[in-house]
């Protein structure tokens, strides 16, 4: 299993086998997102990671304080309306792209995930959080609103009343990792010292399963937000039937019957 590290100004990108870890590396700015960071994230994910090899992407922030504490306020201060629109569209394009990748994207949140950081985490498929994590959308305190999908994804994740509470009270209310788990915002919450091992455990579990099946599950679950139940069931049945035309399913079924390891984590 090879280790590969690629150089970016604001990112640390490491690949080990089927897993890529992308660390936003601006700890002095609490990993705040600016235009350059967004460009580098796009480049790292869509140009430097081999889609034939990488099955899981772990997204995290450098240091112990923050996943991403928000967008870079100093940069935003000088934006005009047209520039702000372009910045919002850039962030929305990145977050939407994360949702449509065939790989599973995991946000490892050890500290602040505020504003754009919360929005970035919500675009990931799984959020695994430390009990010390803090989630929130404080933009209204700046006379702004979320621009990377916060009003849309937060409402879908936690429901309208809680989303409005968080969005309208701003920095006066943040969610701890445990509160975020209770409300359905995050997938798992663990003791701070156990975060790395929990992420490793989840990654290992994903890799033991069929990669094409995982990709189909992600697609169907994401599409369910925008489909009627009837349309979703039809799409699921078609995808289920297509599994039987693939070698992956034959390997998995035969391994189960023969009580052997299908070896999906060795693909």
Residue 259: partners with Cβ closer than 8 Å, 6 or more residues away: none
Active-site position among 14, 119, 223, 230: 119
User: Which one of the listed residues 131, 139, 236, 248 is annotated catalytic?
Assistant: 139
Please state, in angstroms and rounded to a whole number, the distance separating the CA atoms of residues 196 and 179: 20
174 — phi, psi (to 5°)?
Answer: -125, 160
Are 4 and 39 in contact by the 8 Å Cβ rule? The answer is no
Query: Nearest to residue 56, comparing CAs of 94, 5, 15?
Result: 15
Name the H helices within the chain. 35-43, 73-76, 81-100, 116-123, 150-158, 160-169, 177-182, 195-207, 211-224, 229-243, 247-258
> Active site includes 139?
yes
**Beta carbons within 10 angstroms of residue 83's beta carbon:** 13
CA distances from 170 to 148, 165, 241 (A): 16, 8, 47
Report which of 47, 33, 11, 49 is spatially closest to residue 121, judged by C-alpha positions: 33
Active site residues per annotation:
119, 139
């Amino acid at each position: 299993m090879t280790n590969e590290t690629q150089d970016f100004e604001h990112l640390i990108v490491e690949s080990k086998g089927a897993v890529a870890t992308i660390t936003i590396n601006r700890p002095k700015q609490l990993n705040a997102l600016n235009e350059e960071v967004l460009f580098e994230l796009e480049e790292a994910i869509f140009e430097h990671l081999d889609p034939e090899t990488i099955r899981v992407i772990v997204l995290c922030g450098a240091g112990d304080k923050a996943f991403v504490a928000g967008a870079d306020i100093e940069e935003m201060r000088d934006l005009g309306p047209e520039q702000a629109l372009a910045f919002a569209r850039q962030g929305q394009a990145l977050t939407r792209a994360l949702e449509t990748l065939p790989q599973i994207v995991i946000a490892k949140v050890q500290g602040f995930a505020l504003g754009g950081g919360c929005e970035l985490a919500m675009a990931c498929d799984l959020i695994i959080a430390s009990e010390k994590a803090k989630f929130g959308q404080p933009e209204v305190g700046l006379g702004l609103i979320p621009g990377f999908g916060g009003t849309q994804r937060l409402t879908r994740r936690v429901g309208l009343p809680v989303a409005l509470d968080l969005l309208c009270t701003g920095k006066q209310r943040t969610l701890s990792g445990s509160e975020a788990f209770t409300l359905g915002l995050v997938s798992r919450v663990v003791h701070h010292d156990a975060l790395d091992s929990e992420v490793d455990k989840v990654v290992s579990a994903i890799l033991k399963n069929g990669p094409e099946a995982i990709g189909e599950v992600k697609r169907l679950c994401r599409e369910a937000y925008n489909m009627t139940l009837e349309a979703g069931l039809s799409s699921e049945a078609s995808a289920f039937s297509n599994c039987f035309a693939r070698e992956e399913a034959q390997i998995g079924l035969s391994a189960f019957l023969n009580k052997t390891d299908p070896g999906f984590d060795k693909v």
